[in-house]
Amino acid sequence: MDHPSPQTPAPTPTNRPSPNRSSNHSSNQRSTDGRAVVLVDGVRVPFMRSGGHYLDLLAYDLARSAVRGLLERTGLEPASLDRVIMGIVMQNPKTSNVAREAALGAGIPNSVPAYTVTMACISSNQAITSAAELVASGQADAVIAGGTESLSDVPIGFGKALRKKLYQLRKVESVWAYRKLFRGLSLSDLVPRTPGIEEYSTGESMGEYGDKLAAMFGVSRKDQDEYALRSHQNAARATREGKLSAEITPVAVPPRFDPLDTDNTVRPDTSMDKLSKLPPVYVKPYGTITAGNASPLTDGAAATLVMSEQKALALGLTPKAYLRHYCYVAQDPYEELLLGPAYAVPKLLDEAGLEPGDIDVIEFHEAFAGQVLAVLTALGSDTFARDKLGRSSRAFEVDMDILNRWGGSISLGHPFGATGARLVTTAANRLHDEDGQFALVTACAAGGLGHALIVERYEGSA
């Protein structure tokens, strides 16, 4: 499917007429200066609501299928890989280096090293930028970078008190000592715990914060429901038109082995009427985030092939895009838990020397409709720009027409560790579909973290 085009000249890091407005190349700036880094392609397994089709699987199974699908799609000889990197949030202790298990399971030679990264909802973004760094610095030529998550299989465990006793149990020799050991445990210590969804440092849940954030920026319930509706409509249209099949690798999994090739998270039939009837879930009774305007619990995996341009071309592959500049930011997890993109986007545009008008495609992670709209408000606000960014005027008034045209995490689902790789892949595919040059990928993450990345369409390809 790809045609070799070895004669394509290696472009400069940003081939814009006057790229670098920013004279300040601070140490914070991260770009893939050095060797040109390309995204050859990316795929994902269909995203499924948790507790559904993937209930019998581990995150490793999903990752393995995604990696296998990517190898098939690109035709890359696995032996030419230098590294496999996977992101994940809820690790299963049996497959704690899930990248390695998935790589071995997918038939990648055991001589290819693999490692796993975690950075909350931007884990696979970190996987991809780590891959880009390895490639740019000449340490690798071909890396599979992606992520996986099964929220159907979160590691349910016991509390610290019981875990401590169970550890001490190994040394117990008599029944008497055994009884003594368990004295002092309360009944509640015996109840298994699901992993906390609260921020460890603040004790506040993501949803509580999202609800607060929406209120901080005056985003109404109606605005949020309308945004959610748009996300579902976009995803449904993209699915119907076959746009998403470019990124989906079909699977058939135990126990029923139904052929799965579309996401079951999208609700094509939802409406304002249905959405407005849902009760708030995090802040009761007067909060605004509902099950309808938040991203659903999802299982899924995604993988991308990141290579040096030179090697890709030498192997006869046609890259889809360049991976250009990127940055990570962090704020106070209490005050600005999910506001990362409002800081990351202006910073990245400055570093890349791009204007908002240069951006043709935006792929924006949708944790909650309220969070997306709050961040967009912040980006378009002069006050926010002055008070928080030290800029004289608004950073970015986003044109909704270029934002998440094929749906987003609210409609397509949000397997924490895999979302970033989906965003990057979709951004590249949309650049081709919409005939754009630059795409902006941005996402927030727990811990007050944020990320933004510039993807540039690869000119040599279809």
Partner 1 sequence: MSYFRYDKTDGVATLWLEQQGSDVNTLSEAMIDEFAEMLDRVEQQPDVRAAVLISGKPDTFVVGADIRQFVTFDDKDEVRALLRKGQAVLMRLEHLSKPVVAAVHGPAIGGGLEMILACHYRVATDSTDTTFAQAEVKLGLLPGLGGTQRLPRIVGVTTGLELLLTGKNLYAKQARKAGLVDALIHPPGLHHAALAAARDLAHGRRTRRRLTLSWRDRLLAQTPLRRIVYRRAQTDVDERTYGNYPAPYRILDTVRTGLSKGMKAGLDAEADAFADLVLTPESRALVNLFFLQNDAQKNPFGAAQAREVDTVGVLGAGLMGSGIAELSTRGGYDVVLKDQTMELAAEGKGTIWRSLDDSVGKGLRAFERDVLAERVRPVADVDLFGKVDLTIEAVPEKLDLKQQMIRDVEARTPEHHVFASNTSSIPLKQLAEASQRPDRLVGMHYFSPATKVPLLEIIRHADSAESALATACEVGLKQDKTLIVVRDSPGFYTTRILALYMNEGLELLNEGADIRAVDTAMKQFGFPVGPLALFDDVGVDIGAGIYDVLADLFAERGIDTSDAARKMVEAGAKGRKSGRGFYHYEDDDRQGVNDDVYRFFGGGERRTFAKVDVQERLALMMVNEAVRCLEEDVIDTPQDGDVGAVFGLGFPPFLGGPFWYLDTRGAGDVVQRLEQFTQAHGPRLTPATLLTEHADTGRSFYAS
Largest CA distance in the chain: 80
The one-character DSSP state at 412 is H
Shortest distance, position 220 Cβ to partner 1, whole Å: 8
Given the residues 58, 135, 444, 455, select the one marked as catalytic.
Answer: 444
* Token pair listed for 376: 């967009």
Rank residues 176 and 200 by Cβ distance to partner 1 and give the closer one.
Answer: 200
Q: Are residues 334 and 388 in contact, defined by beta-carbon separation less than 8 angstroms? A: no
Q: Rounded distance, CA 309 to CA 319, Å? A: 8
Shortest distance, position 444 Cβ to partner 1, whole Å: 18
How would you classify the pairing of strands 83-87 and 142-150?
parallel
Shortest distance, position 211 Cβ to partner 1, whole Å: 6
The type of residue at 75 is G
Shortest distance, position 258 Cβ to partner 1, whole Å: 42
Shortest distance, position 199 Cβ to partner 1, whole Å: 9
Rank residues 374 and 395 by Cβ distance to partner 1 and give the closer one.
Answer: 374
Rank residues 306 and 378 by Cβ distance to partner 1 and give the closer one.
Answer: 378
Rank residues 210 and 420 by Cβ distance to partner 1 and give the closer one.
Answer: 210
Rank residues 207 and 436 by Cβ distance to partner 1 and give the closer one.
Answer: 207
Shortest distance, position 214 Cβ to partner 1, whole Å: 8
Q: Are residues 53 and 79 in contact, defined by beta-carbon separation less than 8 angstroms? A: no
Shortest distance, position 203 Cβ to partner 1, whole Å: 5
- Nearest Cα neighbor of 360 from 426, 442, 434, 452 is 434
Q: Rounded distance, CA 437 to CA 25, Å? A: 24
- Binding positions for partner 1, rule: CB under 8 A: 200-203, 208, 211-212, 215-216, 283-288
Rg (CA), the chain: 22
The one-character DSSP state at 264 is S
Rank residues 114 and 446 by Cβ distance to partner 1 and give the closer one.
Answer: 446
Task: Decide if 327 is catalytic.
Answer: no
Which H or E run includes 351? helix 340-352
Shortest distance, position 39 Cβ to partner 1, whole Å: 38
First to last CA, the chain: 10
Rank residues 204 and 261 by Cβ distance to partner 1 and give the closer one.
Answer: 204
Q: Rounded distance, CA 121 to CA 84, Å? A: 19
Q: Rounded distance, CA 43 to CA 66, Å? A: 7
Q: Rounded distance, CA 453 to CA 224, Å? A: 25
The type of residue at 402 is I
Q: Rounded distance, CA 454 to CA 345, Å? A: 10
User: E strands, 34-161, where?
Assistant: 37-44, 48-49, 83-87, 114-117, 142-150
Q: Rounded distance, CA 442 to CA 458, Å? A: 20
> In sequence order, which residues have a C-beta less than 8 Å from that of residue 269 and are 6 or more positions away?
none
Q: How many Cα neighbours within 13 Å face the side chain of 70? A: 36
Rank residues 198 and 261 by Cβ distance to partner 1 and give the closer one.
Answer: 198
The type of residue at 238 is A
Shortest distance, position 53 Cβ to partner 1, whole Å: 36
Q: Rounded distance, CA 415 to CA 146, Å? A: 12
Rank residues 131 and 289 by Cβ distance to partner 1 and give the closer one.
Answer: 289
Q: Rounded distance, CA 407 to CA 395, Å? A: 24
The one-character DSSP state at 442 is E
Q: Rounded distance, CA 419 to CA 128, Å? A: 12
Given the residues 39, 45, 99, 121, select the one marked as catalytic.
Answer: 121
Instruction: State the catalytic residues.
Output: 121, 444
